[in-house]
Amino acid sequence: MRLSRYFLPVLKETPREAQIVSHRYMLQAGMIKQASAGIYSWLPLGFKVLRKLENIVHEEQAKAGHIAMLMPTLQSADLWRESGRYDGYGEEMLRMQDRHGRDMLFSPTAEEMFTDVFRANVGSYKDLPLTLYQIQWKFRDEVRPRFGVMRGREFLMKDGYNFDLTKEDALHAYNRHLVTYLRTYERMGLQAIPMRADSGPIGGDYTHEFLVLAETGESEVFYDSAVTDIRMGERDVDFDNHDQCQAIMDEFTSLYARTDETHDADLFAKVPADRQRTARGIEVGQIFYFGTLYSEKLGAVVDDGKGGKAAVHMGSHGIGVSRLLGAIIEASHDDKGIIWPEGVTPFHCGIVNLKQGDNEADAACQSLYDSLTALGLEPLYDDRDERAGAKFGTMDMIGLPWRVTVGPRGLKNGVVELTSRRTGDNEELPPEQAVARIADIYRGIS
């Protein structure tokens, strides 16, 4: 993409309403625009990253055998009355009536809807196990929406629901989701720590939330530093293997990691002193096992293969997809702007032409652009007639991991400059070597 043809409304001044880094940089980088309190328009750059995050979630869910579908954002209140949650959910639920006076609501979550689909279509244990999920917009009417996409009213969420015949099978689905989520976050360049948590209005007595460490996190966390050394992307996981998934769960739960809500000072004191850590954390996902809580209320039963009927065991599993954008920026930035991990960057690299209109510089930039594009990469070519400082400032703000700088002086020596956004390291290379280096960096990163 040529920047002269792209819609990138970068702000030069710091927005006054932005209280945290991610909100400020998303506004300054032209990623979002506030439509009303806690509700945002996603501009092209932000939308591009959002779609990358969605794709990673879909790919990892598919590897685990989970099946995607899509539910409506508007739901009938009747289902929620049937489950007993309509009156108890609270003022965060946006309630309304249609033109016929029927009570409706804007979905804050979808346990009832998925259970209703299940009970209408599945009647035998032979159809289990089954995990269905969606990535869909949700709405929760926060009293004080703030921090941009970190605590908005409208947000994009992956919510999945498992249906199993037994508690043992449902807990395997729980463990499977923990593994899947950790792989998902790693691909996004995040270190997410699973921690035992409170289930809140979702219900159930077995739940973990996933927190990314960042200074602006809403929760205080206490953890054993060894938990941050565990990597899932390096492992070949068989998601149907109960013992392997349980072993991974045990590996994490054997190491202390708790939020302030569930912190146990006596247990924490048993962690070796040199590994005790406290920090702030941003919640980016949560998994729940709630047994037959919804299936019994909503009649989600199957033939159990023994001549009887059994209410299915269920769990729900969420990832805040739009919130993840903010979390990534909070965890990966400097005073110049965003620093995107390679797995989620909107463009793979930037090309900066230091002398737009110079025939040799223009030709070299075009050649780089064509070569990178031919390799399946997406460069962003800053071909604007702007000062070099302005071009560098834009590239730093939007955070592309790599930048290729092209100027007449370097071209006389047959080189361009390759710069790492994260480290600031520069390297002079012939143009074809710069292309090869960038291709090597992204090889294996889907």
The answer on 365 and 308 residing in a single domain is no
For residue 361, tell me if it sits in a domain.
yes
The answer on 392 and 318 residing in a single domain is no
The answer on 302 and 434 residing in a single domain is no
Whether the per-residue pLDDT at 381 is higher than 60: the answer is yes
β-sheet bridge partners, residue 155: 138
Q: Which residues contact 95 (CB under 8 A, 6 or more apart)?
A: 77, 103, 104, 105
| For residues 9-29, average pLDDT | 91
For residue 296, tell me if it sits in a domain.
yes
β-sheet bridge partners, residue 420: 402
Instruction: Give, for 311, the enclosing helix (H) or strand (E).
Output: strand 309-311
- pLDDT, position 218: 86
- pLDDT, position 202: 52
The answer on 359 and 309 residing in a single domain is no
For residue 333, tell me if it sits in a domain.
yes
The answer on 111 and 238 residing in a single domain is yes
Domain count, the chain: 2
CATH number for the domain harbouring residue 146: 3.30.930.10
Comparing C-alpha atoms, which of 192, 207, 212, 180 is closest to residue 57?
A: 180
Last residue of a domain, one of 318, 338, 358: 338
CB 329 within 8 A of CB 359: no
The answer on 412 and 293 residing in a single domain is no
Name the residue range of residue 410's domain.
349-442
Last residue of a domain, one of 282, 313, 338: 338
Whether the per-residue pLDDT at 97 is higher than 70: the answer is yes
Whether the per-residue pLDDT at 13 is higher than 90: the answer is no
The answer on 163 and 131 residing in a single domain is yes
CATH number for the domain harbouring residue 438: 3.40.50.800
The answer on 166 and 54 residing in a single domain is yes
For residue 343, tell me if it sits in a domain.
no
β-sheet bridge partners, residue 259: 221
- pLDDT, position 15: 85
The answer on 196 and 75 residing in a single domain is yes
Write the pLDDT tens digit of every residue in 318-376.
Answer: 999 999 999 999 999 999 999 999 999 999 999 999 999 999 999 999 999 999 999 99
Give the predicted TM-score (pTM) of the model.
Answer: 0.94
- pLDDT, position 6: 97
- pLDDT, position 313: 97
Q: What's 227's DSSP letter? A: G
How far is the C-alpha of 237 from the C-alpha of 251, rounded, in Å? 14
The answer on 366 and 334 residing in a single domain is no
How far is the C-alpha of 137 from the C-alpha of 414, rounded, in Å? 50
Q: What's 117's DSSP letter? A: H
| For residues 135-150, average pLDDT | 92
For residue 150, tell me if it sits in a domain.
yes
Q: Which residues contact 298 (CB under 8 A, 6 or more apart)?
A: 79, 82, 83, 112, 115, 116, 119
The answer on 8 and 96 residing in a single domain is yes
Write the pLDDT tens digit of every residue in 32-75.
Answer: 999 999 999 999 999 999 999 999 999 999 999 999 999 999 99
The answer on 239 and 285 residing in a single domain is yes
How far is the C-alpha of 398 from the C-alpha of 348, rounded, in Å? 12
CB 148 within 8 A of CB 167: no
| pLDDT above 70 coverage of the chain, percent | 98
Whether the per-residue pLDDT at 201 is higher than 80: the answer is no
Last residue of a domain, one of 312, 338, 364: 338
Place of tokens 């702030």: 280
- pLDDT, position 445: 82
Q: Which residues contact 404 (CB under 8 A, 6 or more apart)?
A: 349, 350, 351, 352, 368, 379, 416, 417, 418, 419, 434, 438
Instruction: Give, for 420, the enclosing helix (H) or strand (E).
Output: strand 416-420
Write the pLDDT tens digit of every residue in 113-138.
Answer: 999 999 999 999 999 999 999 999 99
For residue 344, tell me if it sits in a domain.
no
For residue 418, tell me if it sits in a domain.
yes
| pLDDT above 90 coverage of the chain, percent | 87
